């Protein structure tokens, strides 16, 4: 039907033979905004056949040409920024300005990846044998990095464009083919982004985008024998995918419960500004959002007062108006956030603002006096709700972080670099930010979660490395 967005396979936009579609619900209006194709198993299989074939040829395309193709994509993303951003506003209620930033950041990511690929993939290694006992200088080992094959990229709803290109670009520069399975909310923005790859003239089959009903075909995709690598960003589904995946490299970024530890010598204005930015930007729907504040008793009252003053200034409304707080992605998500708030309230936490919800729109909330028996001390709301736990010692704060199943990022506010480093050293967490809110970027920095927060390290350089394998040729001399 003419109203359903097609999927991209074999270098063409196709209608699904299923004739079925999936609705994309606008979180603000809670009405169907778009329809996407519900592809069939045969269409999934065909896509992988084409990807395999295209990949073999692509791996032999000179690196400078692969880089050139990616630079074209970056230019096209910039050119089509407004139309892609408009989809983000409608599908995931991301504020209008942030939606444009997501597209620009993606274009910058693609350009940087092309340049980084040129630098690191042109390097190989030469080893001589006589350092190992019993060997003479009679052979040479030449090793270099070769592509893995077909990468399955599964981005989440909160960055459907940026977290697609952060998988696509490293995979492609390294000589892989990519099949993208966009999130349902955000699929249309992702399909527009894929169109930039189409316009850039990549060989047919090398890049494809399949939209499926995940309850029917999710397992088929993630356990497909043609898949040589999975790069996934999202929630706990990633754990199930990892358990079922075969012997292939996995790059997983899953949940986070990023803590902000505020010590008694901290700059409290700086800490408060970062708690509000880190906790409430995109309404808290970021893996790296501040999801718990651990404040030393002696400064907690003053910190909370400063945070509350900033919360009072946040605008709340529709993403089109660029409000700071916009509706969360779905009714289910809003219900989940509400359940965490109610649990904390019933168990005696102090809500500094009145709890307000209108449809999927949840007003920003600071929940103080949170204790370990409350769900919100451990679970991630993925919404505009920040809990505060008061701590007596630094050790108590570190212990809380290290007891969490999540360990993506964390931050510590103090004016003593020595105390900051002691906390950073003690925290068993992927990244610790000193005197700033957690964040993935700049995008060439390593980005990784420990425990249930993920497997492998991202960041441009690490992703290129992860999407390749080492191959050696040994020259034996007579
Ligand atoms: O939630 C996805 C995660 O990668 C966060 O990215 O840039 O908001 O820190 P960022």
Q: Is 211 a pocket residue for ligand 1 (Cβ < 6 Å)? A: no
Residue 385 sits at the vertex; the CA angle it makes with 384 and 389, to the nearest 5 degrees, is: 150
Q: How far is the CA of 438 from the centre of ligand 1 (A)?
A: 9
Q: Which residues are catalytic?
A: 253, 287
Q: Indicate which atom in ligand 1 lies nearest the CA of residue 281.
A: 8
Tens digit of pLDDT at every position of the chain (478 positions): 458 999 999 999 999 999 999 999 999 999 999 999 999 999 999 999 999 999 999 999 999 999 999 999 999 999 999 999 999 999 999 999 999 999 999 999 999 999 999 999 999 999 999 999 999 999 999 999 999 999 999 999 999 999 999 999 999 999 999 999 999 999 999 999 999 999 999 999 999 999 999 999 999 999 999 999 999 999 999 999 999 999 999 999 999 999 999 999 999 999 999 999 999 999 999 999 999 999 999 999 999 999 999 999 999 999 999 999 999 999 999 999 999 999 999 999 999 999 999 999 999 999 999 999 999 999 999 999 999 999 999 999 999 999 999 999 999 999 999 999 999 999 999 999 999 999 999 999 999 999 999 999 999 999 999 999 999 999 999 9
Q: How far is the CA of 132 from the centre of ligand 1 (A)?
A: 45
The pLDDT assigned to 184 comes to 97
pTM, two decimal places? 0.97
The pLDDT assigned to 2 comes to 56
Q: Is 286 a pocket residue for ligand 1 (Cβ < 6 Å)? A: yes
Q: Indicate which atom in ligand 1 lies nearest the CA of residue 439.
A: 9
ipTM: 0.95
The pLDDT assigned to 162 comes to 98
- To test the pocket of ligand 1, the residue of 231, 288, 410 to mutate (highest count of ligand atoms within 8 Å of its CB) is 288
């Amino acid at each position: 039907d003419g109203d359903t967005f097609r999927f991209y396979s074999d270098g063409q936009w196709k209608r699904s033979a299923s004739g079925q579609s999936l609705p994309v619900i606008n979180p603000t209006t809670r009405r169907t905004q778009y329809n996407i194709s519900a592809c069939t198993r045969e269409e999934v299989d065909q896509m992988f056949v084409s990807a395999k074939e295209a990949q073999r040829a692509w791996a032999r395309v000179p690196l400078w040409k692969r880089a050139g193709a990616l630079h074209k994509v970056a230019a096209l993303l910039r050119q089509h920024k407004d139309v892609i951003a408009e989809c983000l506003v409608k599908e995931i209620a991301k504020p209008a300005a942030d939606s444009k930033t997501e597209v620009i950041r993606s274009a910058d990511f693609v350009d940087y990846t092309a340049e980084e690929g040129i630098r690191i993939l042109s390097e190989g290694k030469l080893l001589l044998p006589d350092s190992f006992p019993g060997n003479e200088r009679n052979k040479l080992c030449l090793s270099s990095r070769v592509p893995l094959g077909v990468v399955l990229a599964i981005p989440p709803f909160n960055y459907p464009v940026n977290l697609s290109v952060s998988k696509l670009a490293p995979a492609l520069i390294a000589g892989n083919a990519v099949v993208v399975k966009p999130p349902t909310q955000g699929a249309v923005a992702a399909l527009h982004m894929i169109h930039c790859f189409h316009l850039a003239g990549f060989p047919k089959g090398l890049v494809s985008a399949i939209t499926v009903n995940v309850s029917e075909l999710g397992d088929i995709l993630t356990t497909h024998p043609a898949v040589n690598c999975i790069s996934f960003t999202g929630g706990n589904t990633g754990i199930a995918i990892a358990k079922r995946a075969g012997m292939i490299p996995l790059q997983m970024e899953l949940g986070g419960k990023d803590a902000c530890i505020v010590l008694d010598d901290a700059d409290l204005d700086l800490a408060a500004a970062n708690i509000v930015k880190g906790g409430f930007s995109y309404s808290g729907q970021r893996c790296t959002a501040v999801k718990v504040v651990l404040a030393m008793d002696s400064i907690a009252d003053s910190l909370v007062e400063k945070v509350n003053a900033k919360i009072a200034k946040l605008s709340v409304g529709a993403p089109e108006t660029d409000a700071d707080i916009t509706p969360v992605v779905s009714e289910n998500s809003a219900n989940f956030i509400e359940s965490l708030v109610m649990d904390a309230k019933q168990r005696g936490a102090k809500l500094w603002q009145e709890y307000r919800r209108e449809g999927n729109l949840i007003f920003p909330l600071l929940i103080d006096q949170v204790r370990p028996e409350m769900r919100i001390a451990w679970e991630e709301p993925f919404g505009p709700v920040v809990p505060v736990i008061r701590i007596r010692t630094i050790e108590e704060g570190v212990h809380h972080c290290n007891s969490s199943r999540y360990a993506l990022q964390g931050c510590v506010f103090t004016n003593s670099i020595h105390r900051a480093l002691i906390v950073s050293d003690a925290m068993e967490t992927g990244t610790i930010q000193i005197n700033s809110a957690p964040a993935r970027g700049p995008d060439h920095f390593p980005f990784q979660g420990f425990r249930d927060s993920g497997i492998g390290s991202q960041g441009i350089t690490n992703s290129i490395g992860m999407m390749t394998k080492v191959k050696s040729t040994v020259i034996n001399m007579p």
